[in-house]
Structure formats: structure tokens, C-alpha cells
A and B are shown apart, each in its own frame.
Chain A
Amino acid sequence: MSASDPNQPIRPWAERAGCCPERKPHLRVHDLSVSYHGTPAIRNVTMDLSRGCITAIIGPSGCGKSTFLNCLNRMTDLVPGCRVKGSVRLDGTDIGADGTNLIALRRRVGMIFQKPNPFPLSIRENLTFPLKHHGVRNRHDREAQAEAVLRQVGLWGEVKDRLDQPALRLSGGQQQRLCLARALVLNPEVILLDEPCSALDPIASGMVEDLIASLRTSYTVVIVTHNLPQARRLADDVAMFWLVDGAGTLIEYGTAGKLFETPEKEITADYLRGARG
């Protein structure tokens, strides 16, 4: 049964308690503020992201969710005029420090975007080409790893006979799963997902969602989503962002059970009910 099946009851949190039993911080964000050309985007965010858990970032548009996500693998470096203050520690190492090896960082922290963006290469090359440039010299190793991740994302059966066809010929959902495979093939520890299902139809969205759920415990997953039912189905922890004084602020953070059932802040409760945001 697909996770997006509307008839499926939402699994209660208690049932999932074994999935992410203990909260050990993997990424520690401390007092993080980001501004673009002097305009603040997020302000003073402090939170620990737990190893092996799925953390959902929710909140209305424009409250800095994506900016926050982009700080975790320093994609913010690409944006001109972007200033980041505060620290993000990955297993204790400050990733914002000068001299951080960005190539190694981005290999450890993979990212999936809202719009599927496979390279305009063949399906096979989309997976083997990044591996090659991360030092996997042997072609057979590369192809074996490509096959393994294609199986992991459930694409192998669909594409095994047309690996040399352009990846752009795949459907949107298949492309997004290929992108996920491309991130997984580098064997990251953390996977960042920026609204990975919002450009997909419900069925493809469901497949991608199941796939994300399957990453729990093996990877630390951070997902930005506008889809509250999806956050409910997936998340172990939920962070609620809201626009406070013109900048995105973390207003509430806790386990999914706590935040969805008994939110502390009135804004969160209203947002979850659909009354605000």
C-alpha cells in the first residue's frame, strides 16, 4: 500500500517509536542567521538534527525553510550577497569554517531539489559520472553501484533495458527517483530534500514518499515540505518556521507526536489546523 493512499490511516507515533529510538545529534545548528544583501532571511535558529531520523521543516512560504536547508550543505555559497552567521556542526566539525572541503562536505550531505534535475546525460551516466569524479576508477565498480542504487529506489526494473537512453525521457516521478539514486550513489550521511514531491503527481509523489520513509535509520533526512499530511506520515521530528519581524524564525521544534498532537504555540496549532499561514 502506498503511503499516499488516502484510505490508509495515519500511523500513530507510538507505533513508529522503534524507528528512531534515541535522539543523538548529527547536525547541530547554533544561532544561525542568514541575510541576502542585508535583508534577513532567517534569524537565530538553534536546533539539533538527530541521526537516523526524518526531520520535517514546515511553515508557510517565504519563512526561510529552504534557506535553512541550503545552509546545511553550504549551497548558500552560490547565492551572491548571502551572509551566514552562526554555526552548523556536522559530527562536531564546523562546516562553515574557512578551508572546509566543500566537495567532501557535499558528498556527505546530499540534496534533492523541488524540480527533478537529472543531468542531460543517459540514465547510466547520471549515476556513474558523479562516481567517476569522486574517485571510483573502476568502471565495473561504478556500474555495480549504479545498479545497487537503482534497485534501492525501485527504478531498476523500469529502466534496466534502457540505461543508455537520455534521463530526460523518464517521467517526472522517475526523474526524481533517479535524482535520489544519484544522491545515494555517493553514499551520503545526510540527505536534504527541498519539497521533493511538490512537482509530482499524487502517484509518483507517493512512491517518492515511500522511498524517503525507507531512508530512516540509515540516513539523517531533513525534508522541507508544504504538505502537512506528508510531514505527519514521514517525520520523527518537526520544526515549525514562522516569519517573525521580517525574518524566518524557528518557533517550535519537537517530536512529531508532540508537535502535531499538543503544540505549545498557538500559531503552530492554528497553522496545523489550516487557520493560519
Chain B
Amino acid sequence: MSTPERAIRRTTSRVAPSSDWPGCVAAGTVWLVALLVACVFFWIVGDLIRHALPHLTWSFLVEAPSDAGRSGGIGPILVSTMWLLGVCLTVSVPIGVGAAMYLAEFTRNGGRLGRFVRGSLDVLAGVPSIVFGLFGNALFSIYLGMGFSILSGGLTLACMVLPILIRTTEEGLRAVPDDYRRAAVALGLSQTVTMWRVLLPAAAPGLIVGLVLGIGRAVGETAALLFTSGYVDRMPESLLDSGRSLAVHIYDLAMNVPGGSGHAYATAFVLIGLLLVMNVLTFWIADRWLHRRVTPA
């Protein structure tokens, strides 16, 4: 070992413990904060499981609620939630991906329209959901005559999810290296072909993030749905029927139904489980259709 190296080593080993106390405090604080966050998470989940488990049975999942939800199950509510989500995604995914393509590929060099659309989306993403609810109520329920229905609720959710979906997909597309675009141009491939076959698959991670965030926002929504899809807890017979989502059911049980908290916990547990399943499913589908072919494992 050379002399300067030895000198450095001696200095650090001698000085480190006594002089690094700000570092120790900082590290300790970070650990404490991390621990706190983990504790909060486990507290919520533990509390949920503890209260939910006694109510969780197969019949709870399939039966209709009775006595304002104090007994019975959440069958129709689960179905309504799936319909709402189905409408929301069927509308928002094609529009969202299309808009993201437009923003990322056709307005790359800061066109005025692109900037305007992007700015509007950022504002929209931050608009409180109750505002979306009022808007959906005015437009879909009243003006377009859909009334309190799953259709108007799903469309309102689509409006809410779109900004998130568009911006994350756009970021995903922007993260695709320009090398691919230049290669495609040099091979005389059209922009459309390049988009579908090269850029979109390569941007799949961004699309997945957008979908996961969007689904999370849609499934957890109450305020926007109270005014649009309503809170009828019957089994919906068509998209024009009113339907109650899981989140609205939790809200109703917890706030308006004395003695409903046990079923509120159980519903919340189902909601989280549903979210988990949807996320895994999103990853699986995106992986299967877009990403697996393209990424080196």
C-alpha cells in the first residue's frame, strides 16, 4: 500500500465515528420515517383484515345486500363496479393511447397545439373528482339524457382517467430511444407502421403505469359517481341502469348506515383485492401482448 493511501485510510478510520454525527442523525431519521410509513401501511392492512375476516364468505361476494347493507352481500355492487370499470377503460384506453401518440410523435418540437393540449391535461389531472362528477352529471346524465346510469358513470370516470393515461403513455413513448425512429425512417417504413409495431410495444411500460394509476383512480372513486351512476344497490340489468360501485357502498355503509361498519370493512377488503387482481392482470396482458416479444429477458 502506498503512503498517501495509507494516510487516507488512517484518517478516515480515526475521524469517521466521532465527526460523522450529522450523517448518523440523518440516516437515523430516514430509517425512522421509512419505519413509520411501513407501520402505517401494516396498521391499515391489519386493521382491515381483522375487521373484514369475520364477514368474508363466498355468499358475501355473490349475494345481494339487504337491510341497507348490514346483512347480505355485495354481489350486484361487484358487478356494477366491473361494468363501470369496463365502460371507463373501453372508452379511455383507445382515446388515451391515440392522444398520447399525437402528443409524443406529432408535436415533438413544441407546437402550439401540443403545448396547449399538454397544459390542459396537467390541469385536468389535478381537478378534484367532485368537479368531474358535476360535469358528468350535467353532460351525460342530464344533457345527453343518460340519467343516473352505469354508462354516464363510466364515461365520467373515463374523463377523469384520461389525463393520467395520456400523460404516462406519452412519457413512455418519449422514453423510446430515437434510434428506433431513425432506423425505421431509414428503412422506408411509414410512421403508422413504426408507431404500431415498434414504438408502442417499446413504450409498454409507460402504458402499464398509466393503466394501473388510472384503474386505481377509477375503482376508488366515490364523489364523481354519486352524481352520475347513482347508488342503487340492485343488480344492474343494462348499462342504462343505475349501479353502486364498491367505493360508494363503503361510503354509504360507513357514513349513513349505523351498524354497517363490519360490512364496510369487508367491502374495503374486497376493493383492495380487486385492485390487486386488476393490476396483476394489466401487467400480464400488457406483457403478453406488447412487451414480452420486445424486451431482452
Contacts and interface: CB of A to CB of B under 8 A. Distances in A.
Interface of A: 73, 75, 78, 80, 102-107, 110-111, 113, 115, 117-122, 125, 129-130, 133-134, 166, 168-169, 179, 182-183, 186
Interface in B161-185: 177, 179-185
A93 to B, nearest CB: 16
Nearest to B179: A117
B187 A182 contact: yes
Given A120-B201, A121-B293, A133-B193, A186 B187 contact: yes
Contacts, number: 76
Given A103-B188, A119-B198, A166 B182 contact: no
Contacts of A104: 188
Contacts of B296: 166, 168-169
B109 interface: yes
Contacts of A115: 179
B109 A106 contact: no
Contacts of B202: 120
B76 to A, nearest CB: 44
A112 B124 CA distance: 43
B182 A113 contact: yes
B295 interface: yes
A133 B190 contact: yes
B14 interface: no
B109 A134 contact: no
A102 to B, nearest CB: 7
B197 interface: yes
Given A107-B188, A186-B188, 6 more contacts: A75-B186, A117-B177, A119-B183, A120-B295, A130-B188, A179-B183
A106 B188 CA distance: 5
A120 B200 CA distance: 11
Interface string B185-224: 1111110010001100110000000000000000000000
Contacts of B184: 119
Contacts of B185: 75, 78, 106
Contacts of A168: 295-296
A75 B182 contact: yes
B187 A183 contact: yes
Given A129-B197, A133-B193, A166-B295, A117 B188 contact: no
A166 B293 contact: yes
8 contacts: A75-B186, A102-B188, A103-B190, A105-B188, A107-B187, A119-B184, A120-B294, A166-B296
Contacts of B109: 80
Nearest to A117: B179
Contacts of A117: 177, 179-180, 182-183
- The winner among B177, B187, B197 for most chain A CB atoms within 10 A is B187
Closest 3 CB pairs of A and B: A106-B188, A117-B179, A120-B294
Given A120-B198, A122-B293, A134 B182 contact: no
